[in-house]
Structure 1
Amino acid sequence: MIADTTDLNELERDALTELVNIGVSRAAASLRKMVNKEVLLSVPSVEIVTRRSAASLIGQRESESLIAVQQQFDGPFSGRALLIFPQSNGLSLVRAIVGDEMQEAELLEMEDEALAETGNVILNGCLGSMANMLQHSLKMSLPDVRRGDSTLLFDAHNSSRDASFVLFLYINFSVRERNIRGYIAMIMDLPSLEKLKQLISDFIERVMNETD
């Protein structure tokens, strides 16, 4: 069970969902410029869960191996961001970006590079705009591509990491008429999550003051 300090009330959850949706919309706009095609991104659900729960949620949905682009982020709240796809969706995304003309061998050769660049655009767009709206900035590391199952990606078997939580976003992509599903996960320790919650409360207060 998640500690009460990480629970969001309905207003906070709505505000966070709004921040996330604006973030992914900006990320989609950046990706659209990159691929020169219509890109649609939506976030049907936002959850705060433990690492083990996040690993379990993906494990239940996905039977195949996973591919993830990860970046460390540092600022008023810090942690590790992951953009996660089932392996086959990752290849579909690369095809959508580079086009269908490329041969399979060439595609596999540049897969990691294309995914890292795409992940960088999406994670920076999403987290960067969220931080801006919370009136702060985040420093992001260079992207790194990892493969494995959900337990490995979330380091969920490590009991010493139980004090950290995951802001877990289920996302739907549509790029070049391909439907691609994936996940964005922000892994944070309790102090970072509490700081994020405080920044969301401040954001709500500013919005309410502006509408008065």
Structure 2
Amino acid sequence: MYKVFVNDKPLFLTNQIVKETDFKFFLLESIDIEQLIINYFQNKIQKAYLYHPDENEILNTLKSKIKVNRAGGGLVYNKKGEVLFIFRGGKWDLPKGGMDKGEAMEDTAIREVEEETGVNKLKITNKLQKTYHVFRRNGKYRLKITQWYEMHSDFKGELIAQEDEGIEKVAWLNPEEIKEALKNSYENIKLLFEEEKELQEKVSLK
């Protein structure tokens, strides 16, 4: 199952028939995807499931209807176990950004972390999940697909917010501060930390 956030509300792409309760349930072949997206942005839908026997078919259909922006980002740890956050648009987020033409995704993620935060000496230690969210820019809808990477850095220099990208603040946050920050963050960032917690728990059990 894929989880796509539309205006920060979940749209589940599923191959499982789910009995409708507190959400809408749609069949791929009988739904106008563009109208569905509009309904999300008009707050007519808070949560929905979109069904087809092949989940990838749903995702491919979504990508054919809405222009895709590909991005790379980092969940960056320092030697203290703190995580690198940025503050932009009134919310805590993780550094990420769009892929340049001909660029490898790992290079995109590292470059964007460096540009947005000033942190270098980055080493990718794990490939994490992709997150999906639909946003609106200049009246048009875009599907941003972000590939995330776990990174580590022993950087000890000054954090520099990329102000021309609207970043107001950059900070290393400890586990308690992360809990507070996630209360004022995006759903796909919360999802990323859920996966990271599960990965760390599996490692500790080995």
Q: Same fold (TM over 0.5)?
A: no
Q: Which has the higher strand share?
A: 2
Structure having the higher Rg: 2
Q: Greater relative contact order: 1 or 2 (C-alpha under 8 angstroms, separation 6 or more)? A: 1
- Which has a greater percent of helix? 1
- The TM-score bracket by the shorter chain reads under 0.3
| TM-score normalised to structure 2 length | 0.26
- With normalisation by structure 1, the TM-score equals 0.25
